[in-house]
């Protein structure tokens, strides 16, 4: 990338003796939706908060729109918008009051009434914050994040805790922003969210970046394989499962066995014969194409939602 709008180099963030971010590096191009994908506690939020200027890095370098978050906080504020993991406003603050209050913080603003209309909150403009549903509160948070027409929008777990219907609604809003070529940095531990919304993804675990690329590129790391997730009545030897016909690799994850297969039908037949010979039984079998979670499992032996 010739002129990335966001650049992170060897970023480090510590909390006492705990190193939450350990040398993370990545860059984001203007107009790109970039995802930080990883389990809870991976270091995603700490990374985002350093970029937003909310926390001071303990090492490395970061710039957003060419600005250092610590050296240029006032200039940066006008270039970014953010939806934090939790948005909390006074219960008796009305929706229209909230968005006009946020608009007063910036030099450059969009019309608050237009934003309320865009996010389906016109009928709620006189409602108190504590009268809104979870989805309405998140739409208001997005409207407030866009009130200064930011170049870069940070979304930290924007659909966490929302029901599937509201989550899809938020996806639609993010896809609309994507079509407008907004630069978006999104943190999530939802696989489908990253695959659906992101142009590129960086997978983070224990404060380190362990893989990055487009969702398609990352899934290709699993090769041209099918994933079988099997649960057995009794434990089985991973090495024996790896030797079965059609099986390329076998991992044990959360009491199940994940088999990556280049030839699915022979692998299933071989698995059933092996279990019969071992006096074991197949409790459940799921067949799926590789996902970003498969990449994470291959690299860490754990699930993204752990």
Q: What is the pLDDT of residue 130?
A: 95
Any residues with CB less than 8 A from the CB of 134 and at least 6 apart, and which?
Answer: 161, 162, 163, 166
CA–centroid distance for 165 within its chain: 18
Any residues with CB less than 8 A from the CB of 153 and at least 6 apart, and which?
Answer: 80, 81, 82, 83, 145, 146, 177, 182, 183, 184, 185
**Token reading at 131:** 């009268």
Q: How far apart are CA 292 and CA 289, in angstroms?
A: 10
Q: Where are the beta strands (DSSP E) in the chain?
A: 6-15, 18-28, 33-37, 59-64, 80-83, 152-156, 183-188, 200-205, 208-213, 226-232, 247-253, 256-261, 282-288
Q: What is the pLDDT of residue 1?
A: 47
**pLDDT tens digits along 199-216:** 999 999 999 999 999 998
Q: What is the pLDDT of residue 305?
A: 63
β-pair type (18-28, 6-15): antiparallel
* Domains by residue range for the chain, with CATH: 6-219 (3.40.50.300), 224-289 (3.30.70.100)
H-type alpha helices, 180-237: 191-197, 215-219
How far is it between the farthest Cα atoms of the chain?
73
Q: What is the pLDDT of residue 226?
A: 87
**Token reading at 2:** 């010739």
**Token reading at 139:** 């739409």
**What is the three-class DSSP state of 213?**
strand
Q: How far apart are CA 142 and CA 146, in angstroms?
A: 6
Distances 92 to 85, 87, 98, 137, 138 between C-alpha atoms, Å: 21, 15, 10, 13, 17
The segments of the chain whose pLDDT lies below 70 read 1-2, 222-224, 305-306
Entry pTM? 0.84
């Amino acid at each position: 990338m010739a002129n990335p709008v966001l650049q992170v180099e060897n970023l480090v963030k510590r909390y006492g003796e705990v190193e939450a971010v350990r040398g993370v590096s990545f860059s984001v191009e203007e107009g790109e939706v970039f995802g930080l994908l990883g389990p809870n506690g991976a270091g995603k939020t700490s990374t985002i908060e350093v970029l937003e200027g909310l926390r001071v890095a303990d090492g490395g370098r970061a710039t957003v729109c060419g600005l250092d978050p610590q050296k240029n906080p006032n200039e940066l504020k006008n270039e970014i918008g953010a939806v934090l993991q939790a948005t909390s406003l006074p219960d008796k603050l009305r929706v229209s009051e909230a968005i006009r209050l946020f608009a007063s913080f910036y030099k450059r603003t969009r019309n608050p009434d237009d934003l309320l209309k865009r996010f389906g909150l016109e009928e709620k403009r006189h409602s108190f914050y504590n009268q809104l549903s979870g989805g309405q509160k998140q739409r208001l948070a997005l409207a407030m994040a866009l009130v200064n027409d930011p170049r870069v929008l940070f979304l930290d777990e924007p659909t966490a805790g929302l029901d599937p219907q509201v989550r899809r609604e938020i996806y639609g809003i993010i896809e609309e922003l994507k079509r407008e070529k907004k630069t978006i940095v999104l943190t999530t531990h939802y696989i489908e969210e990253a695959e659906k919304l992101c142009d590129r993804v960086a997978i983070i675990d224990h404060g380190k970046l362990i893989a990055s690329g487009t969702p398609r590129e990352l899934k290709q790391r699993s090769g041209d394989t099918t994933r079988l997730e099997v649960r057995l009545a009794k434990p089985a030897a991973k090495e024996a499962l790896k030797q079965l016909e059609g099986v390329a690799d076998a991992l044990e994850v959360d009491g199940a066995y994940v088999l990556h297969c280049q030839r699915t039908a022979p692998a299933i037949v071989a698995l059933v014969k092996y279990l019969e010979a071992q006096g074991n039984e197949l409790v459940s079998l799921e067949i799926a194409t590789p996902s970003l979670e498969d990449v994470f499992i291959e690299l860490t032996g754990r699930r993204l939602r752990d």
